[in-house]
Amino acid sequence: MAAPVVSFREAFLADLGNETILAALLTALNIAGRVGEARDAVVSELRAGVLPELDTFAEVAIALGARLKLDGEQAISSGQQAQGRANLGATGNCAGLLTIATSQTYLKPQIVTKLFVFACGGGAGGGGATSVNSVARAAGGGSAGSWAISLITAPSASYAVTIGAGGNGGVAGDSTGSNGGTTIFGPISASGGVGGQASGLGTTDMIIGSQSNVSTATGGAINVSGERGDAARKFAAGIRISGKGGTSPFGVGGRGLSVNSMSVDSAGSNAGGYGGGGAGAISSTTVDRAGGNGTSGIVVILEFI
């Protein structure tokens, strides 16, 4: 449902914070120090019977722009911005959406009263595969980062945000992928994925890298473990299937591969987006291969006023 349009006249005359409304408008106009002058202009327009005919903030901005000798296009643009703020304030809707992909400090705008937070840990790397003893092998995929959702109804003025790094794929050879890093926002902690298992040194048909452990999240209203990376499969006939990486709500796992020749090899595919796990590698009888990399986590914030 579309938010109702609030006219400047309704907002001003209903006393929904005259100074606040004017300050928002004039801040956009880059003349925040002239609130008093603008208020006098509005009162003058009211007395002259002009303001009741001005229904939108854009129209008021033009009128104020003429009074304060502002550029016309600047006044229209600023009026439209202030109109959006007024509509949001009147309906209690979301005032902004912010994505945080690097560790930093989040500073909450004063007008924001609630935060709806999504946090996802980093995805793990896929396992590496070795060709030792002239045997072709495959490795398991890394799991996705865990994730959590939380509504913070009394948010602090600032939060230290830690974004979990994506895990590196196991190096070429019999090497397990690295775990993903933990993403933290306030009470939420979303651990990173578990590294994909290495190919091992086996020579018979086998399943490699079936993960028993997964990443976990805490502190959210909803806490979800990261998707496990797929196990790899090796068959003596030369058929090998590498493990796909786990998928997160914000990213995809690296793609698993299937080959049917001892001479074919492939590095593990990297994950995409945020929080996805890397795929496992496939070696030939002569070439070692590295696992795919996982991707870093992310925090998504919806700000409500």
The string of pLDDT tens digits covering residues 225-267 is 999 999 998 887 678 899 999 999 999 999 998 888 888 889 9
Cβ neighbors of 168 (< 8 A, separation 6 or more) are 125, 177, 178, 293, 294
Within 8 A by CB and 6+ apart from 235, the residues are 205
Distance (Å, whole) CA 273 – CA 26:
39
In the chain, % of residues over pLDDT 90: 48
One-letter identity of residue 184? I
With vertex at residue 188, the alpha carbon angle to CA 183 and CA 191, rounded to the nearest 5 degrees, is 40
Task: Give the model confidence (pLDDT) of 53-104 as tens digits.
Answer: 444 545 555 555 554 444 444 444 444 444 444 443 434 567 778 899 999 9
Predicted confidence (pLDDT) at residue 42 exceeds the cutoff of 60: no
CA atoms within 13 A on the CB side of 237: 5
- Residue scoring higher pLDDT (207 or 99): 99
- Locus of tokens 């994506």: 166
Nearest residue to 100 via CA among 219, 184, 225: 184
Element spanning 160, H or E? strand 158-162
- Residue 247 and residue 142: Cα distance in Å, rounded? 10
Give the whole-angstrom CA distance, residue 294 versus residue 181. Answer: 10
pLDDT digits (tens, 9 = 90+) for 103-115: 999 998 888 888 9
pLDDT single digits (tens) 132-190:
888 888 999 999 999 999 999 999 999 999 999 999 999 999 999 999 999 999 999 99
| Overall pTM > 0.85 | no
Tell me the two tokens of residue 223: 């806490």
Tell me the domain boundaries of the chain.
Answer: 8-91, 94-305
Q: Name the one residue in this structure whose structure tokens are 């002009």.
A: 50
Select from 291, 285, 292 the least CA-distant residue to 128.
Answer: 291
Q: Count of CB atoms within 10 A of residue 295's CB?
A: 34
Check residue 222 and give its pLDDT: 92
